[in-house]
């Protein structure tokens, strides 16, 4: 089971479904602006005094002040005290929100149901994840045949507060050994623990300081993994710039691991990974300097002294191995195919000039998986799934019949599997797991969600609106049936718009709380994402980044024009790159929104590349050092540098984690300080800093419940909506 599959599984377990509760505890939303306004006036906020230093940087002759630079030091006692002071102010405010406790209880009920993942076979055992209800982390079970399922790994025992999570899981090819990785406090730095599945005893020393890595086994000898040298200074914020691929033999110490790739200046890359083919014959090495584009190398493991063969020596495409049959390799690539294609080539001459189309590019973006000896081509048609089953020669067998309009994912497994599993979901439908008979193509419900959510009471519709430059952008709007279009509906507009990430319809337990109570949930597929291939991604990068903000603003204007909502009832939310989206948009159009909710955002665009692996995001953003043109462009929208004095900004709740070592919390700290110093008006400018938490992955359910109660409570309160 690969790392990516685990991440999807765990995410689905936490966010996949919801329950409703009986009418005696039902929480309804009723507009009562006068009551809320009176309450708001009573909340006088005294923000902590944030020291300003005389710090400036010069970019191409332009001086830029950075008075809150000291907040970047996450090891200082002064920063620690500032965090405590800000949290105290925020919690004092949230404690007065009347709906906070009711929302928290509601969320507990919504999340309190049994959640089970699709099963997967490793060796003689079948494994699956299960969360009994409000367990902080999903538990990994296994069973032998029809025997009783037993706990195999319980991440809830990793730490008392549930903040140490299972962050990776990879079995050896025969299933007799497994390496699992753990994340402590949400950090991207991992420990890797290898055990014998029968004895449950350690089969190797624990590996430490692993980051941005999967595990790929070579027989039972050992495995490949990637990491950086431990940085000097703070491991949470110091720059990590040279990724290295190692091979670990089970009987060796980590200090004796073999450096395979990435140790020289010629091989310096920010992201390096190694993958062994299922037959143990080949090692594929991917190397990249950014989050888009990669070089690719091949080593024949059947020949111990074989040389590394270069397949791609540039970063002009995204290419990865799909499968192999003997010496025939199948690659998924967007080289000369912006919507991606599958090519075949012999390993003896694997360069692009020898590639042959195996699955040709179409008008829709392609994603591919294998299982049961067949290939499953999943196409994204306006962000909606369409899946075709092909034989090993690429010939169409059938189109997989899906239960509705939404997102289907899975369709992967070992070559000898005759039954595969996939999940189906959309914004109003809790995720259901289906089994697929590979030979007949028949699907049947394997595991229906136990969520007591009445999908029939809600509706989702896809609309297309026009952005500032005339581009048509799709958006899915979900709400209760019979919604009155009178402009007073509390609306959450969620977006991302970057890094080739596609927002396909999926159900969320927490968002269900919003929907149940009459809220509108709207998700546009902004440029910068991957919904329409590389061209759509590139249209929202570097000197075209403003397109993303324009698309988001146009989505808000559409919702207002169609009378779904109005500026008094419209909130915007997004995380990471989506946090940048929310912050930039609220600064550009403060008149358009009532509430802004930027989460773990990239907010200082002049310095993001100086922290951890941030330099790898330059494909999307460019850096302030690249050229005067890019510096000037970044200065037009970088949130930390664009907060203006005397502006009445929307009520803002910034959220971040003190252990976020992907987008360091200093981004959020500095943005909060700027807002608190310059904002005019009574709207709160608050920051909620979760302790012992990172960028989001592995967050325990207890913290999720608290966070969303705060977010929804803050939002509704500032819209003047009373929660009964």
pLDDT in tens, 572-587: 999 999 999 999 999 9
* Residue 450 to residue 433: CA distance in whole angstroms: 12
The pair of structure tokens assigned to 153 is 């790994």
Summarize the confidence of residues 19-25 as an average pLDDT. 25
pLDDT higher than threshold 90 for residue 653: yes
Contacts (Cβ under 8 Å, ≥6 apart) of 34: none
**589-609 average pLDDT score:** 97
The strand pairing partners of 65, in sequence order, are 56
Residues in Cβ contact with 430 at an 8 Å cutoff, skipping those fewer than 6 apart: 16, 17, 18, 449, 451, 453, 455, 507
Confidence band for 645, pLDDT divided at 50, 70 and 90: very high
How far CA 431 is from CA of 28, 138, 239, 423, in Å, comes to: 25, 16, 39, 6
pLDDT at 122 over 50: yes
What is the pLDDT at residue 576?
Answer: 94
pLDDT for 391 beyond 50: yes
**Mean pLDDT in residue range 361-375:** 96
Quickly state the pLDDT bin for 25 (edges 50, 70, 90): very low
Choose among 559, 555, 556, 563: nearest CA to 485: 563
Categorize the per-residue pLDDT at 1 as very low, low, confident or very high, splitting at 50, 70 and 90: very low
For residue 31, pLDDT beyond 50: no
Active site residue 695: yes
User: Are residues 292 and 619 in contact, defined by beta-carbon separation less than 8 angstroms?
Assistant: yes
Whether 500 has a pLDDT exceeding 80, the answer reads yes
Instruction: State residue 546's pLDDT score.
Output: 98
Residue 609 falls in the annotated catalytic set: no
The conformational region for residue 50 under phi > 0 = left, psi -120 to 50 = alpha, else beta, is: beta
Residue 530: band (very low, low, confident or very high) from pLDDT cuts 50, 70, 90: very high
Tokens describing residue 295:
């070089």
Task: State the Cα–Cα distance between residues 426 and 424, nearest whole angstrom.
Answer: 7
pLDDT at residue 240, as a whole number: 79
Q: What is the DSSP string of 480-506?
A: ETT---SS---EEEE----TT------
What's residue 699's pLDDT?
A: 76
- Residue 37: its pLDDT value, please? 38
3-state secondary structure 1-49: CCHHHHHHHHHHHHHCCCCCCCHHHCCCEEECHHHHHHHHHCCCCCCCC
What does the pLDDT read at residue 40?
Answer: 43
Residue with the bigger pLDDT between 233 and 333: it is 333
Q: Render pLDDT for 259-272 as a digit per residue (tens, 0 to 9).
A: 999 999 999 999 99
> Pick the residue with more confidence: 2 or 54?
54
Q: What distance in Å separates the CA atoms of residue 638 and residue 497, rounded to the nearest whole number?
A: 16
Average pLDDT over residues 121-147: 93
Residue 35: pLDDT above 80?
no
Angle between helices 701-718 and 33-41 (to 10 degrees): 100
> In which residue are the tokens 């664009």 written?
642
Does residue 696 have a pLDDT over 70? no
Other C-beta atoms closer than 10 Å to the C-beta of 362 total 14
Looking at the predicted structure, is the pLDDT value of residue 6 above 60? no
Average pLDDT, the chain: 90
- Inform me whether the pLDDT recorded for 695 exceeds 70: no
Is the pLDDT at 27 greater than 60? The verdict is no
Whether 687 has a pLDDT exceeding 70, the answer reads: yes
% of the chain with per-residue pLDDT over 70: 92
- Res. 301 pLDDT band, cuts 50 70 90: very high
Reported as half-sphere exposure (CB side, CA atoms, 13 A), residue 224 has a value of 22
How far CA 450 is from CA of 21, 144, 433, 560, in Å, comes to 13, 25, 12, 36
* The one catalytic residue among 369, 385, 576, 668: 576
Distance CA 474, CA 390 (A): 29
Averaged over 51-69, what is the pLDDT? Answer: 97
Band the pLDDT of 74: cuts 50, 70, 90. confident
End-to-end, the C-alpha distance of the chain in Å comes to 45
Q: What's residue 660's pLDDT?
A: 67
Q: What is the mean pLDDT of residues 546-573?
A: 98
Per-residue pLDDT at 23 exceeds 50: no
Q: How confident is the model at residue 195 (pLDDT cuts 50, 70, 90)?
A: very high
Mean pLDDT, residues 310-326 taken together: 96
Provide the sign of the torsion angle of the four alpha carbons 272, 359, 400, 464, taken in this order: positive
pLDDT at 57 over 70: yes
CA distance 522 to 511: 11
Q: Which of 422, 346, 433, 440 is nearest to 385 (CA)?
A: 422
- Whole-angstrom Cα Rg for the chain: 25
Q: Are 69 and 688 in contact (CB under 8 A)?
A: no
Residue 359 banded pLDDT, cuts 50, 70, 90: very high
Quick one: pLDDT band at residue 238, thresholds 50, 70, 90? low
Q: Is the pLDDT of residue 663 over 90?
A: no
pLDDT score for 71: 96
pLDDT for res 692: 67
DSSP 8-class letter at 567: G
> Could you tell me if 423 and 118 are in contact, meaning their C-beta atoms sit under 8 angstroms apart?
yes
- Tokens read off for 480: 């209760």
DSSP 657-700: ETT--SS-THHHHHHHHHHHHH--SSS-EEEEEETT--SSTT--
Q: Write down the pLDDT at residue 598.
A: 98
CA gap 527, 536 in Å, rounded: 5
CA–chain centroid gap for 56, Å, is: 34
CA nearest neighbour of 646 among 674, 680, 683: 680
- Residues for the chain: how many in total? 724
CA angle 280, 284, 287 (to 5 degrees): 155
What's residue 659's pLDDT?
Answer: 66
Calculate mean pLDDT across residues 284-292. 94
Helix extents (H) in 481-615: 509-516, 534-538, 546-561, 577-588
Q: Residue 284's beta-bridge partner residues?
A: 275, 298
With CA atoms as reference, report the closest residue to 545 among 676, 637, 629: 637
Q: Write the pLDDT tens digit of every residue in 92-113.
A: 999 999 889 999 999 998 999 8
Is pLDDT above 80 for 615? yes
The arithmetic mean of pLDDT across residues 557-563, rounded, is: 98
Of these residues, 659, 667, 679, 695, which one is catalytic? 695
CA gap 25, 581 in Å, rounded: 36
Q: Helix or strand or coil: residue 267?
A: coil
pLDDT for the residue 12: 27
The first and second tokens of residue 676, run together, are 């608190």
């Amino acid at each position: 089971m690969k790392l990516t599959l685990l991440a999807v599984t765990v995410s689905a377990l936490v966010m996949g479904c919801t329950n409703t509760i009986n009418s005696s505890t039902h929480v309804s939303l009723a507009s009562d602006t006068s009551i809320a306004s009176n309450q708001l006036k009573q909340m006088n906020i005294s923000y902590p005094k944030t020291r300003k230093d005389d710090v400036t940087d010069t970019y191409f002759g332009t001086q830029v002040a950075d008075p809150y630079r000291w907040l970047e030091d996450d090891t200082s006692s002064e920063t620690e005290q500032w965090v405590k002071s800000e949290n105290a102010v925020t919690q004092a405010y949230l404690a007065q929100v009347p709906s906070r406790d009711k929302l928290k209880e509601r969320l507990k009920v919504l999340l309190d149901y049994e959640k089970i993942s699709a099963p997967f076979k490793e060796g003689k055992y079948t494994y699956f994840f299960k969360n009994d209800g409000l367990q902080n982390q999903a538990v990994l079970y296994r069973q032998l045949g029809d025997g009783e399922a037993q706990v195999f790994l319980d991440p809830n025992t990793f730490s008392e507060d549930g903040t140490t999570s299972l962050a990776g899981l990879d079995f050896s090819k025969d299933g007799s050994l497994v390496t699992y990785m753990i994340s402590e406090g949400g950090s991207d730095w991992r420990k890797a623990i290898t055990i014998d599945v029968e004895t449950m005893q350690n089969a190797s020393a624990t590996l430490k300081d692993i980051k941005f890595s999967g595990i790929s086994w070579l027989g039972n000898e050992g495995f490949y993994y990637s990491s950086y040298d431990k940085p000097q200074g703070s491991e949470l914020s110091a720059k990590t710039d040279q990724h290295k691929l190692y091979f670990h033999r089970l009987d060796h110490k980590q200090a004796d691991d073999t450096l395979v790739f990435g140790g020289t200046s010629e091989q310096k890359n920010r992201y390096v990974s190694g993958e062994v083919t299922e037959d143990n014959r080949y090692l594929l090495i991917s190397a990249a300097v950014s989050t888009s584009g990669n070089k690719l190398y091949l080593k024949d493991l059947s020949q111990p002294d074989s040389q590394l063969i270069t397949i791609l020596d540039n970063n002009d495409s995204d290419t990865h191995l799909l499968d192999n049959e003997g010496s025939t390799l199948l690659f998924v690539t967007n080289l000369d195919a912006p919507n991606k294609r599958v090519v075949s080539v012999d390993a003896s001459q694997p360069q692009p000039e020898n590639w042959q189309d195996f699955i040709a590019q179409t008008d829709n973006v392609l994603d591919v998986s294998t299982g049961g000896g067949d290939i499953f081509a999943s196409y994204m048609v306006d962000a909606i799934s369409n899946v075709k089953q092909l034989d090993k020669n690429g010939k169409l067998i059938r189109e997989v019949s899906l239960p509705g309009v939404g997102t289907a994912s899975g369709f992967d497994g070992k070559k000898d599997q005759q039954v595969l599993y996939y999940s189906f979901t959309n914004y109003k439908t809790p995720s259901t797991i289906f089994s697929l008979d590979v030979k007949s193509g028949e699907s049947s419900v394997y595991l229906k969600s136990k969520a007591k959510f009445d999908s029939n009471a809600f509706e989702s519709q896809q609309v297309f609106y026009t952005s500032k430059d005339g581009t048509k952008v799709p958006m899915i709007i979900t709400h209760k049936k019979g919604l009155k279009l009178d402009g007073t509906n509390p609306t959450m507009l969620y977006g991302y718009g970057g890094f080739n990430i596609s927002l396909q319809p999926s159900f969320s337990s927490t968002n269900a709380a919003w929907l149940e109570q009459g809220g509108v949930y709207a998700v546009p597929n902004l440029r910068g994402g991957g919904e329409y291939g590389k061209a759509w991604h590139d249209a929202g990068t570097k000197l075209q980044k403003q397109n993303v903000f324009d698309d988001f603003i146009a989505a808000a204007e559409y919702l207002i024009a169609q009378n779904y909502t109005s500026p008094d009832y419209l909130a915007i939310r997004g995380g990471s790159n989506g946090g940048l989206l929310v912050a930039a948009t609220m600064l550009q159009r403060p008149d358009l929104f009532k509430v802004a909710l930027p989460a773990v955002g990239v907010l200082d665009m002049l310095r993001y590349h100086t922290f951890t692996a941030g330099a790898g995001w330059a494909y999307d953003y460019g850096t302030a050092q690249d050229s005067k043109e890019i510096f000037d462009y970044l200065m037009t929208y970088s949130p930390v540098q664009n907060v203006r004095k005397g502006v009445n900004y929307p009520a803002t709740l910034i959220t971040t984690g003190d252990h976020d070592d992907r987008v360091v919390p200093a981004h959020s700290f500095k943005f909060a300080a700027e807002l608190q110093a310059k904002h005019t008006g009574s709207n709160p400018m608050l920051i909620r800093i979760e302790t012992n938490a990172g960028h989001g992955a592995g967050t325990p359910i207890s913290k999720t419940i608290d966070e969303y109660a705060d977010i929804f409570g803050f939002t509704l309160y500032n819209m003047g909506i009373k929660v009964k």
